[in-house]
Amino acid sequence: MPAKALMFQGTSSHVGKSVLTAAFCRILSRRGVRVAPFKGMNMSNNAWVTREGGEMAMAQAVQARACGIEPSVEMNPVLLKTQSDHTSQVVVLGKPVGTIAAAELRNVKERLNLAIEQGLRALQDSYEFLVIEGAGSPAEVNLQETDLANMRVARAANAEVILVADIERGGVFAQLVGTLDLLDPEDRKRVKGLVINKFRGDPSLLTEGVRWLEEKTGKPVFGVMPFLSDLRIPEEDSLADRLAAPAKKPAGSSLRVQIIRTPTMANFTDFDPLHREPGVEIQYLTSAPDGGLPPHLLILPGSKSTMADLAWLRRAGLEAHIAACLKEGTEVLGVCGGFQMMGKMIYDPSHVESSTDSMPGLGLLPTDTLFLSTKITAQVKGIHLESGAPVSGYEIHAGRLQGARRGKAVFRLQERGGAAVDEMDGCRLEGSTVWGTYLHGLFDEPIFRRWFLDHLRDRYDVPKPPPVRRAETDPYDDLADAVSKHLRVDEMLEEAAWTPSP
């Protein structure tokens, strides 16, 4: 019997669909249900690598962890990784198959839909229940023909739909009423109820509005979720929320971190653990800051289009900012694409990432990068050579590093894709504050992360914050508890013809 399914769709992007999906995954898992997440097509540069080396969206990997199961590419059969305003790399069932312009999506939609249906069927045959996430809004009338992630998936999975809106954006009643009004009648019937998300303040202030909404739409409002500020899980929308927040003036006792936000920045979830550390203030840069104290740590993050982002960085005046920071003794770290930018030259003769054959790098490290058509995707484990601290993470890159031996390696890799290896990763010049690595997720291991931050504090004479004494609870359980407190979970599950058990 195919799995039952409940689907979260949104009035727009960034309304919290990913988080609510993860919450229901954990709620059902705790009830002993064999549950899995699914998102037919995701557009994101935040990717995860499965144990088998397949690429999938980070959001679905997080949701799989909430289920207590191993992430698999069937949970996100199609991943679009933005390379420019008009093009994306297409990853199908874990493997990159080419680059496509947005206008060409309709030409390959049936091929992509076959992969989506294949992934869906595999999960339906293996699990009792699927919690499905939509993408963007189901009511984008100009995109209906190529929308492979919303109502088309709901119909294929026979899923009932919960429509989610973000009240922080304003106009929440217009969002919900307008979205429902633009749906086809049959799809509108599939929407079984509404959720208002990210509310700050006294929920009683919404009582009259909720009553009006239910009368206007004929749909129940299953609850009002408060804004959850400390989820402690990687979030698809976390960067958008942080950038929308007012900038804070760094405290004199804080470790100052700047992250360059390039147009195709990839895997910004690498830095989520730093956001959760006390005494760390993080600022994202899209231009050189006007004055202020220099950072203690400056990060060049991963990139989906390394040379294009490097050219942008120069136009934005950030190359000069990096040089100025180095004069002040700032530690400069490059991760993956950022690591490639820090070398002497980048070569792309086969035009794997761009139409440019080559480009000078920042010249901060004695390395070159050569792009090849085959991409390295693997989970890795190892140790940090200076501290001996364990590290784990994953690699996603088409570039191959040349000349790293002229610097000092940073990590020793001991396992790749489940097999034992003895390889070096990263490059750092002796006596330099500049280094890079291909290792995504390097700050996930708390021993290395805290050693590294304390190492910076010692160097720059920044006081260590007092230890935070709190119970180490499971973040997925905390999320499930919060959602269960504020939403009528059993009623929502009953809409999917599932009989909840305590």
> 440 catalytic, yes or no?
yes
Reported as a pLDDT band with limits 50, 70 and 90, residue 235 is: confident
- In this prediction, residue 85 carries a pLDDT of 82
Is residue 92 within 8 Å of residue 114, measured between CB atoms? no
Task: Assess whether pLDDT exceeds 70 at residue 301.
Answer: yes
* Distance in angstroms (rounded) separating the CA atoms of residues 15 and 229: 14
Mean residue pLDDT across the chain = 93
Give residue 463's Cα distance to chain centre.
31
Enumerate the β-bridge partners of residue 57.
47
What pLDDT, in 10s, does the model give residues 342-366? 999 999 999 998 889 999 999 999 9
Own/partner pairs, 422-426, CB within 8 angstroms, 24+ separation: 425/380, 425/382, 426/339
Mean per-residue pLDDT, 225-231: 89
Quote the tokens at residue 402.
């040349």
Amino acid in position 468: V
* Distance in angstroms (rounded) separating the CA atoms of residues 183 and 474: 38
Give residue 445's Cα distance to chain centre.
18
Task: Assess whether pLDDT exceeds 80 at residue 246.
Answer: no
- Bridge-based pairing state of the strands 41-43 and 302-303: unpaired
- Bridge-based pairing state of the strands 345-347 and 368-384: parallel
- In this prediction, residue 59 carries a pLDDT of 97
Reported as a pLDDT band with limits 50, 70 and 90, residue 231 is: confident
> 427 catalytic, yes or no?
no
Task: Assess whether pLDDT exceeds 70 at residue 499.
Answer: no
Predicted TM-score (pTM) of this structure: 0.93
Task: Assess whether pLDDT exceeds 80 at residue 237.
Answer: no
Reported as a pLDDT band with limits 50, 70 and 90, residue 238 is: low
Task: Assess whether pLDDT exceeds 70 at residue 241.
Answer: no
Residue 124, class by beta-carbon neighbours within 10 Å (0-12 exposed, 13-18 middle, 19+ buried)? buried
In the chain the domains, ranked by start, together with CATH numbers, are: 4-232+476-495 (3.40.50.300), 254-460 (3.40.50.880)
- In this prediction, residue 248 carries a pLDDT of 54
191 Cβ neighbours under 8 A, 6+ residues apart = 9, 161, 162, 163, 180, 183, 219
* Distance in angstroms (rounded) separating the CA atoms of residues 413 and 410: 10
Quote the tokens at residue 184.
């086809």
Which of 336, 397, 427, 486 is catalytic? The answer is 336
Task: Assess whether pLDDT exceeds 60 at residue 258.
Answer: yes
* Closest of 397, 441, 437, 392 to residue 272, by C-alpha: 441
Angle, vertex CA 323, rays to CA 342 and CA 448, nearest 5: 55
What pLDDT, in 10s, does the model give residues 181-203? 999 999 999 999 999 999 998 88
- Bridge-based pairing state of the strands 411-416 and 368-384: antiparallel
Query: Does residue 275 sit in helix, strand or coil?
Result: helix
What pLDDT, in 10s, does the model give residues 391-431? 999 999 999 998 766 789 999 999 999 999 999 999 998 88
Task: Assess whether pLDDT exceeds 60 at residue 500.
Answer: no
- Bridge-based pairing state of the strands 280-285 and 221-226: unpaired
Angle, vertex CA 18, rays to CA 161 and CA 487, nearest 5: 60
Q: What percent of the chain lies above the pLDDT cut of 90? A: 82
* Distance in angstroms (rounded) separating the CA atoms of residues 116 and 93: 8
Which of 296, 321, 397, 440 is catalytic? The answer is 440
Quote the tokens at residue 1.
């019997």
For 343, phi then psi, to 5°, come to: -80, -170
What pLDDT, in 10s, does the model give residues 364-391? 999 999 999 999 999 999 999 999 999 9
- In this prediction, residue 348 carries a pLDDT of 96
Radius of gyration of the chain (CA): 23
Say which residue the tokens 């599950």 belong to: 493
The CB-side HSE value for 393 (13 A sphere, CA atoms) comes to 29
Residue 467, class by beta-carbon neighbours within 10 Å (0-12 exposed, 13-18 middle, 19+ buried)? exposed
- In this prediction, residue 424 carries a pLDDT of 95
Mean per-residue pLDDT, 151-163: 97
- In this prediction, residue 71 carries a pLDDT of 98
For 103, phi then psi, to 5°, come to: -70, -15
What pLDDT, in 10s, does the model give residues 72-113? 999 999 999 998 888 999 999 999 999 998 888 888 999 999
Is residue 483 within 8 Å of residue 489, measured between CB atoms? yes
Is residue 123 within 8 Å of residue 73, measured between CB atoms? no
* Closest of 409, 407, 411 to residue 439, by C-alpha: 411
The count of other CB atoms within 10 Å of the CB of residue 374 is: 9
Is residue 259 within 8 Å of residue 285, measured between CB atoms? yes
* Distance in angstroms (rounded) separating the CA atoms of residues 10 and 161: 10
Quote the tokens at residue 341.
């930018």
* Closest of 314, 310, 285 to residue 298, by C-alpha: 285
Among the residue ranges 125-139, 236-250, 295-309, 434-448, the one predicted with the least confidence is: 236-250
Task: Assess whether pLDDT exceeds 90 at residue 169.
Answer: no
Residue 461, class by beta-carbon neighbours within 10 Å (0-12 exposed, 13-18 middle, 19+ buried)? exposed
Among the residue ranges 52-56, 91-95, 106-110, 443-447, the one predicted with the least confidence is: 106-110
Secondary structure tally for the chain: helices H, strands E: 15, 26
Mean per-residue pLDDT, 50-66: 97
- In this prediction, residue 470 carries a pLDDT of 62
Is residue 384 within 8 Å of residue 391, measured between CB atoms? yes
Is residue 346 within 8 Å of residue 359, measured between CB atoms? yes
For residue 2, the 8-state DSSP code is: P
